[in-house]
A and B are shown apart, each in its own frame.
Chain A
Amino acid sequence: MLRIGDTEFSSRLFTGTGKFSQACDMLAAVSASQSQLVTLAVKRLDLKTGSDNILKPLQDSGVKLLPNTAGARNVKEAIFAAHLSREMLGTNWIKLEIHPDPKYLMPDPIETLAAARILCEQGYVVLPYVHADPVLCRRLEEVGCAAVMPLGSPIGSNQGLATEPFLKIIIEQSNVPVVIDAGIGAPSQATRAMELGADAVLVNTAIASSADPVAMGRCFAQAVATGRTAYLAGLGVICQQANNTSPLTGFLNV
Chain B
Amino acid sequence: MISIVLNDEVVTVSIGTSLVKVLEHQAIELDAVALALNAEVVPKSRWPHIVCQQDDKLDVFSVVAGG
Interface contact A17-B67, CB-CB below 8 Å: yes
Instruction: Say yes or no for A87: interface residue by CB 8 A criterion.
Output: yes
Other-chain residue from B41, B42, B60, B65 in contact with A40 (beta carbon distance below 8 A): B65
A39 within 8 A of B: yes
The verdict on B33 contacting chain A, using a C-beta distance below 8 Å, is: yes
How big is chain A's contact interface, by range? 35 or more
Give the interface segment out of B13-21, B24-32, B48-56. B24-32
| Number of B positions contacting A (CB below 8 A) | 25
Interface of A is mostly: mixed
B10 within 8 A of A: no
Interface of B is mostly: strand
Q: Which chain B residue has the least Cβ–Cβ distance from A88? A: B34
Q: Are B67 and A84 in contact (CB under 8 A)?
A: no
User: B66 and A87: CB pair below 8 A?
Assistant: no
Contact, CB under 8 Å: A85 / B67: no
The 10 A-B pairs of least Cβ separation, nearest first, read A41-B66, A16-B67, A204-B67, A88-B34, A51-B62, A17-B65, A87-B34, A83-B41, A84-B34, A18-B67
Interfacial residues, chain A to chain B (CB-CB below 8 A): 16-20, 23, 26, 39-47, 51-52, 54-56, 67-68, 70, 80, 83-85, 87-89, 155-156, 202, 204-205
